[in-house]
Amino acid sequence: MINISQSLQWRISIVRESTAAPTTANMTSKKKELLSSALKRTSEWIFSQEIPSDVNIHVGGVSFSLHKFPLISKCGYIRKLISESSDADLSVIELPDVPGGAEAFELAAKFCYGINFEISTENIAMLRCVAEYLVMTEDHAVGNLVGRTDAYLNEVALRA
């Protein structure tokens, strides 16, 4: 089982900007910055308090012990699964068809937690696909993974 809290040791380095909770189209830039800052502080607090995970996500035979808040803040698909669940205390989510499998999901989860990793030509296709699958769009967080992968493709991969 993989515990994302332990992954602070994995700090690998990505071009990363602050992220935010869902915003509305008319939200001011200042409000977006405040939401971004609040989400970052919440993720840091989760790590500093060693809060026990509240959801296990199974992907390709691997179980990830995670926290709902960082995931629903950035993943529209997981937000939908949790909000539409008849189980008020949903604690296990099966994701059998994640593009890129457990490796891709682990990177997406790290992104949700604000953990640095490298976007490269080796993982960009996998990251873009998992971001689309999990609905990690700007509708859910500013600077979300779909936008980051698109920016990488446009600025780095397609220029080479």
Summarised one tens digit per residue, pLDDT across range 30-70 is 555 555 555 555 555 555 557 788 899 999 999 999 999 99
Q: Read out DSSP for the chain?
A: -EEGGGGGGG----------S---TT--HHHHHHHHHHHHHHHHHHHHHTPPP-EEEEETTEEEEE-HHHHHHH-HHHHHHHHT-S-TT--EEE-TT-TTHHHHHHHHHHHHHT------TTTHHHHHHHHHHTT--TTTSTT-HHHHHHHHIIIIITT-
Report pLDDT for 156: 87
* Domain-located, residue 3: no
Q: Does this model's pTM top 0.75?
A: no
Q: Is residue 11 part of a domain?
A: no
Give the Cα separation of 129 and 100 in Å (integer). 8
CATH of the domain at 123: 3.30.710.10
Residue 146 domain-assigned? yes
To which residue do tokens 């950035």 refer?
74
Q: Is residue 111 part of a domain?
A: yes
Residue 18 lies in a domain: no
Would residue 10 count as lying in a domain? no
The residue range of the domain holding 83 is 25-157
Residue 8 lies in a domain: no
Report how many domains make up the chain: 1
Ranking 38-42, 98-102, 117-121 by mean pLDDT, the lowest is 38-42
Residue 85: inside a domain, yes or no? yes
pLDDT of residue 107: 96
